[in-house]
Amino acid sequence: MPAHLKYFLSRFLGALATIVVGSFLVFMVMKAAPGDPALTVLGDFATPETIVEFNKKHGLDNPLIIQYLDWFNGVIRFNFGQSLTISSGQDISDLLAYRLPNTITIGIYSIVIATLVSLVLGTAAALNRGKLTDTATTSFSILGVSMPDFWLGYMLILGLSINIGLFPAYGFISPFESISGSLHSGFLPALAIAAPMAAVFSRTLRASLVENLNRDHVIVAKSIGHSYKFIFLHHVFRNSIIPFVVVIGLQVRYLLGGVVIIEKIFGINGIGSLMVEAAFARDYFVVQACAVVFLATVLVINFIVDMICVLLDPRRAS
Protein backbone atom coordinates (compact mmCIF):
# COMPACT_ATOMS: atom_id res chain seq x y z
CA MET A 1 0.00 0.00 0.00
CA PRO A 2 1.62 3.24 -1.12
CA ALA A 3 -0.11 5.37 1.55
CA HIS A 4 1.18 3.08 4.28
CA LEU A 5 4.66 2.97 2.76
CA LYS A 6 4.80 6.75 2.59
CA TYR A 7 3.75 7.01 6.22
CA PHE A 8 6.31 4.39 7.22
CA LEU A 9 9.12 6.23 5.41
CA SER A 10 8.23 9.64 6.81
CA ARG A 11 8.13 8.24 10.35
CA PHE A 12 11.41 6.40 9.85
CA LEU A 13 13.20 9.49 8.56
CA GLY A 14 11.69 11.49 11.41
CA ALA A 15 13.08 9.00 13.93
CA LEU A 16 16.54 9.17 12.33
CA ALA A 17 16.53 12.97 12.49
CA THR A 18 15.48 12.81 16.13
CA ILE A 19 18.34 10.51 17.05
CA VAL A 20 20.87 12.86 15.44
CA VAL A 21 19.47 15.96 17.18
CA GLY A 22 18.85 14.07 20.44
CA SER A 23 22.33 12.57 20.64
CA PHE A 24 23.82 16.02 19.96
CA LEU A 25 21.82 17.45 22.87
CA VAL A 26 22.91 14.59 25.14
CA PHE A 27 26.53 15.21 24.15
CA MET A 28 26.33 18.96 24.74
CA VAL A 29 24.60 18.57 28.11
CA MET A 30 27.32 16.17 29.26
CA LYS A 31 29.97 18.65 28.13
CA ALA A 32 28.25 21.40 30.09
CA ALA A 33 28.12 19.25 33.24
CA PRO A 34 30.62 20.26 35.93
CA GLY A 35 33.84 18.26 36.35
CA ASP A 36 36.57 17.02 34.07
CA PRO A 37 37.01 13.43 32.83
CA ALA A 38 40.78 13.75 33.13
CA LEU A 39 40.53 14.67 36.81
CA THR A 40 38.09 11.82 37.42
CA VAL A 41 40.55 9.26 36.11
CA LEU A 42 43.88 10.74 37.15
CA GLY A 43 42.71 11.97 40.50
CA ASP A 44 45.68 12.75 42.77
CA PHE A 45 48.21 11.98 40.02
CA ALA A 46 46.93 14.83 37.85
CA THR A 47 49.62 17.23 36.70
CA PRO A 48 49.19 19.69 33.83
CA GLU A 49 51.29 17.34 31.67
CA THR A 50 49.30 14.18 32.44
CA ILE A 51 46.01 16.04 31.86
CA VAL A 52 47.15 17.22 28.42
CA GLU A 53 48.30 13.71 27.63
CA PHE A 54 44.96 12.22 28.78
CA ASN A 55 42.93 14.70 26.75
CA LYS A 56 45.06 14.00 23.69
CA LYS A 57 44.62 10.24 24.10
CA HIS A 58 40.81 10.54 24.31
CA GLY A 59 40.53 13.21 21.61
CA LEU A 60 39.28 15.74 24.16
CA ASP A 61 41.59 18.43 22.78
CA ASN A 62 39.70 18.53 19.47
CA PRO A 63 36.98 21.13 18.74
CA LEU A 64 33.57 20.17 20.20
CA ILE A 65 31.96 19.41 16.86
CA ILE A 66 34.77 17.03 15.90
CA GLN A 67 34.47 15.34 19.29
CA TYR A 68 30.75 14.92 18.72
CA LEU A 69 31.18 13.51 15.21
CA ASP A 70 33.83 11.06 16.42
CA TRP A 71 31.57 9.94 19.22
CA PHE A 72 28.46 9.72 16.99
CA ASN A 73 30.45 7.75 14.44
CA GLY A 74 31.13 5.22 17.19
CA VAL A 75 27.54 5.24 18.49
CA ILE A 76 26.07 4.15 15.15
CA ARG A 77 28.49 1.17 15.24
CA PHE A 78 27.51 0.42 18.85
CA ASN A 79 30.96 1.53 19.96
CA PHE A 80 30.66 3.94 22.88
CA GLY A 81 34.32 4.06 23.89
CA GLN A 82 35.74 2.94 27.23
CA SER A 83 34.50 3.46 30.74
CA LEU A 84 36.59 5.84 32.83
CA THR A 85 36.06 3.96 36.06
CA ILE A 86 34.89 0.39 35.57
CA SER A 87 37.64 -2.28 35.33
CA SER A 88 40.11 0.43 34.30
CA GLY A 89 38.66 1.07 30.86
CA GLN A 90 36.12 -1.64 30.01
CA ASP A 91 34.36 -1.29 26.66
CA ILE A 92 31.04 0.43 27.29
CA SER A 93 29.39 -1.63 24.57
CA ASP A 94 30.25 -4.79 26.56
CA LEU A 95 28.66 -3.26 29.64
CA LEU A 96 25.53 -2.40 27.68
CA ALA A 97 25.33 -5.80 26.00
CA TYR A 98 25.43 -7.43 29.42
CA ARG A 99 22.95 -5.11 31.10
CA LEU A 100 20.49 -4.16 28.36
CA PRO A 101 18.68 -7.56 28.23
CA ASN A 102 17.88 -7.27 31.97
CA THR A 103 16.34 -3.83 31.54
CA ILE A 104 14.43 -4.89 28.43
CA THR A 105 13.06 -7.91 30.29
CA ILE A 106 11.87 -5.80 33.23
CA GLY A 107 10.45 -3.19 30.84
CA ILE A 108 8.48 -5.63 28.72
CA TYR A 109 7.41 -7.56 31.80
CA SER A 110 5.94 -4.43 33.39
CA ILE A 111 4.21 -3.36 30.16
CA VAL A 112 2.63 -6.81 29.84
CA ILE A 113 1.42 -6.75 33.46
CA ALA A 114 0.06 -3.20 33.11
CA THR A 115 -1.67 -4.03 29.81
CA LEU A 116 -3.33 -7.21 31.07
CA VAL A 117 -4.49 -5.59 34.31
CA SER A 118 -5.83 -2.52 32.52
CA LEU A 119 -7.67 -4.55 29.87
CA VAL A 120 -9.62 -6.25 32.63
CA LEU A 121 -10.15 -3.17 34.80
CA GLY A 122 -10.88 -0.74 31.96
CA THR A 123 -13.42 -3.03 30.32
CA ALA A 124 -15.09 -3.88 33.62
CA ALA A 125 -15.37 -0.19 34.50
CA ALA A 126 -16.75 0.80 31.09
CA LEU A 127 -19.38 -1.94 31.13
CA ASN A 128 -20.47 -1.03 34.66
CA ARG A 129 -20.49 2.76 34.40
CA GLY A 130 -21.56 4.43 37.61
CA LYS A 131 -21.76 1.15 39.49
CA LEU A 132 -19.57 -0.24 42.26
CA THR A 133 -17.03 -1.84 39.86
CA ASP A 134 -16.52 1.51 38.16
CA THR A 135 -16.00 3.36 41.44
CA ALA A 136 -13.63 0.66 42.68
CA THR A 137 -11.42 0.75 39.58
CA THR A 138 -11.42 4.55 39.62
CA SER A 139 -10.22 4.49 43.22
CA PHE A 140 -7.56 1.95 42.33
CA SER A 141 -6.41 4.17 39.48
CA ILE A 142 -6.08 7.25 41.66
CA LEU A 143 -4.16 5.14 44.19
CA GLY A 144 -1.99 3.73 41.39
CA VAL A 145 -0.94 7.10 40.00
CA SER A 146 -0.48 8.63 43.43
CA MET A 147 1.92 6.02 44.83
CA PRO A 148 5.57 6.81 44.06
CA ASP A 149 7.14 3.75 42.46
CA PHE A 150 10.13 3.62 44.86
CA TRP A 151 7.73 3.62 47.81
CA LEU A 152 5.59 0.91 46.21
CA GLY A 153 8.78 -1.05 45.51
CA TYR A 154 9.74 -1.02 49.22
CA MET A 155 6.18 -1.88 50.27
CA LEU A 156 6.15 -4.87 47.93
CA ILE A 157 9.50 -6.03 49.29
CA LEU A 158 8.19 -5.66 52.82
CA GLY A 159 4.85 -7.35 52.15
CA LEU A 160 5.46 -10.06 49.57
CA SER A 161 9.12 -10.75 50.14
CA ILE A 162 10.23 -10.20 53.73
CA ASN A 163 6.94 -11.12 55.44
CA ILE A 164 5.63 -13.89 53.19
CA GLY A 165 8.74 -14.84 51.26
CA LEU A 166 6.97 -15.30 47.95
CA PHE A 167 9.51 -13.39 45.90
CA PRO A 168 13.19 -12.51 46.33
CA ALA A 169 13.79 -9.05 47.77
CA TYR A 170 17.01 -8.42 45.92
CA GLY A 171 18.79 -9.49 42.74
CA PHE A 172 17.60 -10.57 39.35
CA ILE A 173 18.22 -13.71 37.33
CA SER A 174 19.05 -12.98 33.71
CA PRO A 175 16.56 -14.39 31.18
CA PHE A 176 19.52 -16.12 29.48
CA GLU A 177 20.10 -18.20 32.60
CA SER A 178 16.52 -19.14 33.40
CA ILE A 179 13.31 -17.72 32.00
CA SER A 180 11.15 -18.85 34.90
CA GLY A 181 13.75 -17.61 37.38
CA SER A 182 13.82 -14.31 35.55
CA LEU A 183 10.01 -13.98 35.66
CA HIS A 184 9.97 -14.89 39.35
CA SER A 185 12.77 -12.59 40.47
CA GLY A 186 11.54 -9.80 38.18
CA PHE A 187 7.92 -9.88 39.32
CA LEU A 188 8.13 -7.36 42.16
CA PRO A 189 10.17 -4.73 40.29
CA ALA A 190 7.95 -5.15 37.22
CA LEU A 191 4.84 -4.80 39.38
CA ALA A 192 6.20 -1.65 41.05
CA ILE A 193 6.71 -0.06 37.63
CA ALA A 194 3.45 -1.47 36.24
CA ALA A 195 1.04 -0.21 38.93
CA PRO A 196 1.02 3.48 37.98
CA MET A 197 1.01 2.57 34.28
CA ALA A 198 -1.92 0.18 34.73
CA ALA A 199 -3.82 3.02 36.37
CA VAL A 200 -3.29 5.32 33.40
CA PHE A 201 -3.97 2.56 30.83
CA SER A 202 -7.23 1.47 32.42
CA ARG A 203 -8.51 5.05 32.67
CA THR A 204 -7.73 5.56 29.00
CA LEU A 205 -9.38 2.33 27.97
CA ARG A 206 -12.47 3.06 30.05
CA ALA A 207 -12.82 6.54 28.57
CA SER A 208 -12.48 5.42 24.98
CA LEU A 209 -14.77 2.41 25.46
CA VAL A 210 -17.45 4.70 26.89
CA GLU A 211 -16.95 7.15 24.03
CA ASN A 212 -17.19 4.42 21.42
CA LEU A 213 -20.24 2.83 23.06
CA ASN A 214 -22.11 6.06 22.26
CA ARG A 215 -21.03 6.31 18.63
CA ASP A 216 -23.67 6.39 15.90
CA HIS A 217 -22.29 3.33 14.16
CA VAL A 218 -22.96 1.32 17.30
CA ILE A 219 -26.69 2.11 17.04
CA VAL A 220 -26.59 1.43 13.31
CA ALA A 221 -25.01 -1.97 13.99
CA LYS A 222 -27.73 -2.62 16.54
CA SER A 223 -30.42 -1.57 14.04
CA ILE A 224 -29.00 -4.13 11.61
CA GLY A 225 -29.55 -6.79 14.23
CA HIS A 226 -25.96 -7.56 15.19
CA SER A 227 -25.60 -9.16 18.61
CA TYR A 228 -24.26 -7.22 21.57
CA LYS A 229 -21.17 -9.40 21.59
CA PHE A 230 -20.44 -8.65 17.94
CA ILE A 231 -21.01 -4.91 18.40
CA PHE A 232 -18.83 -4.74 21.50
CA LEU A 233 -15.97 -6.61 19.85
CA HIS A 234 -16.00 -5.10 16.36
CA HIS A 235 -17.41 -1.62 16.87
CA VAL A 236 -16.50 -0.68 20.44
CA PHE A 237 -13.44 -2.60 21.63
CA ARG A 238 -11.77 -2.67 18.22
CA ASN A 239 -11.92 1.13 17.95
CA SER A 240 -10.97 1.76 21.58
CA ILE A 241 -7.71 -0.14 21.18
CA ILE A 242 -6.28 2.72 19.08
CA PRO A 243 -5.97 5.38 21.83
CA PHE A 244 -5.03 2.59 24.25
CA VAL A 245 -1.98 1.67 22.15
CA VAL A 246 -1.03 5.34 21.75
CA VAL A 247 -1.03 5.81 25.53
CA ILE A 248 1.04 2.66 26.06
CA GLY A 249 3.61 4.15 23.67
CA LEU A 250 3.62 7.47 25.50
CA GLN A 251 4.09 5.81 28.89
CA VAL A 252 7.38 4.23 27.81
CA ARG A 253 9.14 7.47 28.76
CA TYR A 254 7.71 7.17 32.23
CA LEU A 255 8.73 3.53 32.35
CA LEU A 256 12.37 4.40 31.69
CA GLY A 257 12.32 6.89 34.56
CA GLY A 258 10.91 4.18 36.81
CA VAL A 259 13.51 1.64 35.68
CA VAL A 260 16.38 3.83 36.90
CA ILE A 261 15.06 3.89 40.47
CA ILE A 262 13.56 0.41 40.62
CA GLU A 263 16.73 -1.30 39.36
CA LYS A 264 18.66 0.41 42.10
CA ILE A 265 16.14 -0.66 44.78
CA PHE A 266 15.95 -4.28 43.65
CA GLY A 267 19.63 -4.63 42.80
CA ILE A 268 19.13 -5.39 39.14
CA ASN A 269 22.14 -5.08 36.87
CA GLY A 270 20.41 -3.05 34.18
CA ILE A 271 20.96 0.14 32.23
CA GLY A 272 19.13 2.20 34.83
CA SER A 273 21.35 1.16 37.72
CA LEU A 274 24.43 1.43 35.46
CA MET A 275 23.49 5.03 34.69
CA VAL A 276 23.05 5.88 38.37
CA GLU A 277 26.36 4.25 39.35
CA ALA A 278 28.18 5.98 36.50
CA ALA A 279 26.71 9.33 37.44
CA PHE A 280 27.93 8.98 41.03
CA ALA A 281 31.39 7.92 39.79
CA ARG A 282 31.43 10.84 37.31
CA ASP A 283 31.91 8.37 34.48
CA TYR A 284 30.77 10.76 31.73
CA PHE A 285 31.13 8.40 28.82
CA VAL A 286 28.95 5.73 30.42
CA VAL A 287 26.22 8.21 31.42
CA GLN A 288 26.30 9.59 27.89
CA ALA A 289 25.99 6.09 26.40
CA CYS A 290 23.08 5.17 28.70
CA ALA A 291 21.26 8.39 27.80
CA VAL A 292 21.60 7.60 24.09
CA VAL A 293 20.35 4.05 24.66
CA PHE A 294 17.28 5.44 26.48
CA LEU A 295 16.71 7.90 23.65
CA ALA A 296 16.95 5.14 21.05
CA THR A 297 14.57 2.94 23.07
CA VAL A 298 11.93 5.66 23.19
CA LEU A 299 12.28 6.25 19.45
CA VAL A 300 12.12 2.58 18.53
CA ILE A 301 9.05 2.00 20.69
CA ASN A 302 7.31 5.12 19.39
CA PHE A 303 8.05 3.97 15.87
CA ILE A 304 6.59 0.53 16.55
CA VAL A 305 3.53 2.11 18.18
CA ASP A 306 3.06 4.38 15.16
CA MET A 307 3.20 1.38 12.85
CA ILE A 308 0.68 -0.56 14.95
CA CYS A 309 -1.63 2.46 15.02
CA VAL A 310 -1.57 2.94 11.29
CA LEU A 311 -2.51 -0.71 10.85
CA LEU A 312 -5.33 -0.33 13.38
CA ASP A 313 -6.59 2.98 12.03
CA PRO A 314 -6.58 3.46 8.24
CA ARG A 315 -7.37 7.17 8.64
CA ARG A 316 -3.84 7.83 9.88
CA ALA A 317 -2.14 6.84 6.65
CA SER A 318 -4.01 9.37 4.52
Partner 1 sequence: MKMLDVKGLNISFALDSSSINICSDVSFSLAQGKVLGLIGESGSGKTITCKAILDLLPENAEVEAKEISFKGQNLLGLNQKEFDAMRGTAMAMIFQDPVGSFNPVKTIGWHFLHAGKRRNLKQYGRGRIFDDAEAALKEVEIANPREALKKYPHQLSGGMLQRCLIALVLFLKPSLIVADEPTTNLDNLVERQIVDIFDKLRNKIDASFIFITHDMTIAEQISDEIAVMYAGQIVEHGNTADIIDNPHHPYTRALINTARELESDVDVLTEISGDITSGLGVHDKCRFGPRCPLHSAECDKPIELRNIGNHGQVRCIKAESFEGHV
Does position 228 interact with partner 1 (CB under 8 A)? The reply is yes
Cβ neighbours of residue 102 closer than 8 Å, sequence gap 6 or more: 172, 174, 175, 263, 268, 269, 270
What type of residue is 265?
I
> CA–CA separation, 257 vs 110, rounded Å?
13
Measure Cα distances from 9 to 6, 72, 298, 306 in Å.
5, 23, 18, 12
Residue 314 beta carbon to partner 1: minimum distance, rounded to whole angstroms: 5
Residue 316 beta carbon to partner 1: minimum distance, rounded to whole angstroms: 10
Q: Which of 58, 206, 235, 282 binds partner 1 (CB under 8 A)?
A: 235
> CA–CA separation, 150 vs 152, rounded Å?
5
Does position 224 interact with partner 1 (CB under 8 A)? The reply is yes
- Phi, psi angle pair for 316, to nearest 5°: -70, -30
Cβ neighbours of residue 302 closer than 8 Å, sequence gap 6 or more: 15, 249, 252
Does position 4 interact with partner 1 (CB under 8 A)? The reply is no
Q: Which of 61, 234, 257, 280 binds partner 1 (CB under 8 A)?
A: 234
Which one, 125 or 221, has the nearer CB to partner 1?
Answer: 221
Does position 221 interact with partner 1 (CB under 8 A)? The reply is yes
Q: Which of 215, 233, 257, 300 binds partner 1 (CB under 8 A)?
A: 215
- Candidate ranges 52-60, 167-175, 227-235, 273-281; the one touching partner 1 (CB under 8 A): 227-235
Contact letters (x/-) for partner 1, 157-196, by CB under 8 A?
A: ----------------------------------------
Does position 142 interact with partner 1 (CB under 8 A)? The reply is no
What type of residue is 21?
V
SS3 content of the chain, % helix, strand, coil (to 5): 80, 0, 20
- How many residues sit in the footprint of partner 1 (CB under 8 A)? 24
Does position 227 interact with partner 1 (CB under 8 A)? The reply is yes
Closest among 278, 312, 275, 311 to 295, alpha carbons compared: 275
Does position 208 interact with partner 1 (CB under 8 A)? The reply is no
Residue 218 beta carbon to partner 1: minimum distance, rounded to whole angstroms: 9
Q: Can you give the binding site for partner 1, defined by CB under 8 A?
A: 215-217, 219-228, 230, 234-235, 238-239, 242, 312-315, 318
